[in-house]
Structure 1
């Protein structure tokens, strides 16, 4: 309300301004009403998180996350970077993601850059988005993603064990060669 006072102090006049219309929301947000009591967590543009982020609500990343993310709804902002796997019901990517995405609905907007496979029920890729990976349309995308991650972890563990065994064999051969050289 706007209060005005005329020159004489004896009378006060009240004038109300007409209400202004609220700003229009982007379609992605307007289509999904927020449940009562549900809040949005934001990783600001100055923030770098190294580690996994888990929650049951809505998350907006405007900074950097180096780790896996699990939430209900994720928005990766224009200048944001996520390096890790993403599990959510809905994911909107405007920035950069390097990792696997598993969600019922995935939207890559103009300017998005994703390096990694996407497990989804519905996938929208807008003109101007860059997607370097494999689109995997699945009935249960989150379960498929978890199976793929478990498979990758097992393969990495086997590779590390093989590398360790090879290194031990080289060390043993080197020690044997040094022993022969010292004896000779």
Structure 2
């Protein structure tokens, strides 16, 4: 189950398809997940098989994902296989995405190894939805006014069936004379 990695000299750990781990996993080595992990993973290199499921955040130098991830993913080099399904934000330096991979979340490119952390992605998202304090102060002081969005017009009212076929008791046509 645990063996020295021949390629990188890092420890190698394997979570098989019948294994469920509840709790966080932290290792500088390589990790292969074919089972289920309910918790966060922080490792040097992560490989996830198509049967693997992670219900938590992932932080790795390298990650090859082919299964389900329900949480944020942060990786220097990220590869998503066609069977990958991610629900959460993705922070990466280099990314490769196979046709068929599914991601429900935002992608943000990491500028370098020091620009990392799920908190950075969350802060970026908060900045995107709320204006900076200086902009709010400028508006309050009567500075630049916000652009008004065009109002949406409603569709014309659809007549009721009774209005479409209404007829008066007098069958003679009503004709008005023009003057």
Shorter-chain TM-score category?
0.5 to 0.7
Give the SS at the match of 2:63: strand
Query: More displaced, 135-144 or 63-72?
Result: 135-144
Q: 1:76 to 1:100 in 2, by over 3 A?
A: same
What's the TM-score, normalizing by structure 1? 0.59
Alpha-carbon contact 2:24-2:41 (below 8 Å) kept:
yes
Alignment size in residue pairs:
118
Q: Name 2:132's counterpart in structure 1.
A: none
How far is 1:87 from its partner? Answer: 0.5
Give the SS at the match of 2:117: helix
Q: Which runs of 4+ in 1 moved over 3 A?
A: 140-144, 148-151
What's the TM-score, normalizing by structure 2? 0.61
User: Structure 1: which 5+ residue stretches go unaligned?
Assistant: 1-32, 152-184
Give the SS at the match of 1:144: coil
What is the CA deviation profile of residues 3-50 of structure 1, one whole-angstrom value per residue up to 9, with x for unaligned ones?
xxxxxxxxxxxxxxxxxxxxxxxxxxxxxx7223x3310011111111
Mapped partners of 2:42, 2:85: distance in 1: 20
How far is 1:110 from its partner? Answer: 1.0
User: Structure 2: which 5+ residue stretches go unaligned?
Assistant: 1-5, 124-179
Over the aligned positions, Cα root-mean-square deviation in angstroms equals 1.9
Structure showing the higher helix proportion among its residues: 1
